[in-house]
Amino acid sequence: KQEVTQIPAALSVPEGENLVLNCSFTDSAIYNLQWFRQDPGKGLTSLLLIQSSQREQTSGRLNASLDKSSGRSTLYIAASQPGDSATYLCANGDTGFQKLVFGTGTRLLVSP
C-alpha cells in the first residue's frame, strides 16, 4: 500500500525566504506526482504535476522535482510571500484509475 509522508508538518518563515517542502513515498511505481495548495476550509488547487518520466516542473516561483528511485519529491518556493500561506499537499497517481494518494500536508505561514 502506497504511503506518502510530508515533512515538515508545519513551517513558519519571514517573507522573502526561499523554502523547501519535502514529500516521500514508499512505492516507486507511480504514474505521476502532483503538488496542491489548500487554503483553510477550501478545496484543492493543483500547482504542479510531474509525470513519472520527468525530473522536474516549474511554474513561476515554484519548482518541483521528482526522484522516483529514492521515492522523494521536493517543492521549492522562491522569495516567499504572505499570500503563499496555505497547506501544501503532495499526491501521487496510481497506474490504474488515477486515484490520488495524498500526504498529510505541510502548513506554511509566511509572515510579513
Positions that interact with other proteins (CB under 8 A) = 4, 31-32, 34, 36, 41-46, 49, 89, 91, 93, 96-105
Q: How far is the CB of 94 from other proteins (least distance, A)?
A: 9
Measure the CA dihedral 65/7/79/48, to 10°. 40
Q: Which C-beta is closer to other proteins: that of 49 or that of 62?
A: 49
Q: Which C-beta is closer to other proteins: that of 42 or that of 55?
A: 42
Kindly calculate the radius of gyration of the chain based on its CA atoms and give it in whole angstroms. Answer: 13
Q: Which C-beta is closer to other proteins: that of 8 or that of 31?
A: 31
The one-letter amino acid code at 25 reads F
Q: How far is the CB of 98 from other proteins (least distance, A)?
A: 5
Q: How far is the CB of 103 from other proteins (least distance, A)?
A: 5
If you ran DSSP here, which 8-state letter would residue 83 be given?
Answer: G
Q: How far is the CB of 51 from other proteins (least distance, A)?
A: 8
77: which 3 cell numbers? 518556493
The CA distance from 32 to 60, in Å, is: 20
Pairing status of strand 62-67 against strand 56-59? antiparallel
Q: Which C-beta is closer to other proteins: that of 71 or that of 93?
A: 93
